[in-house]
Amino acid sequence: MITRMWEAAVRPEVHDEFVRWLTEQVWPLMAEADGFLGGELYTAYDGPARLVLVTHWRDEVALEGFAGPGWRTEPVVGADPAGDFLEGTPHVWHFVALAAPGSDI
């Protein structure tokens, strides 16, 4: 399993609208993608308006199928309906589990 973390700064005045768009438009597309295992959407507790989308994928083939051949470095932004939800370019990181919670390392 590969965990993908997508992080972006969001214009504060459109934060709620962007969250609605992600959950109503983008999430269903991911949920239908082959190899998508689930995920979570987080917003910053304090400070600037930031979103972090953490998704879990079966393997590299699944990630490439959804995010394209540049999945390792290129964030998937999608069609931004307002044209300017984000401040700057999102960043992506990828992780693999070394141990499960509660396991002996």
Per-residue pLDDT of the chain (105 residues; tens, 9 = 90+): 999 999 999 999 998 988 998 899 889 999 999 999 999 999 988 877 899 999 999 999 999 999 899 999 888 766 555 457 888 888 999 999 887 777 666
Structural domain including 19 reads 2-95
The beta-strand segments (E) located in 29-68 are 36-43, 50-57
Tokens 């949920």 label which residue? 31
Contact yes or no for 74/68 (Cβ under 8 A): yes
pLDDT for position 82: 47
Domain-embedded: residue 105: no
Number of compact structural domains in the chain: 1
Domain-embedded: residue 101: no
pLDDT for position 86: 86
Distance CA 62, CA 55 (A): 12
Residue 50: strand, helix, or coil:
strand
Tokens of 36: 């998508």
Domain-embedded: residue 104: no
Domain-embedded: residue 24: yes
Domain-embedded: residue 100: no
Nearest to 25 by CA among 82, 98, 89, 63: 82
Report the predicted TM-score, pTM, of the whole model to 2 decimal places. 0.84
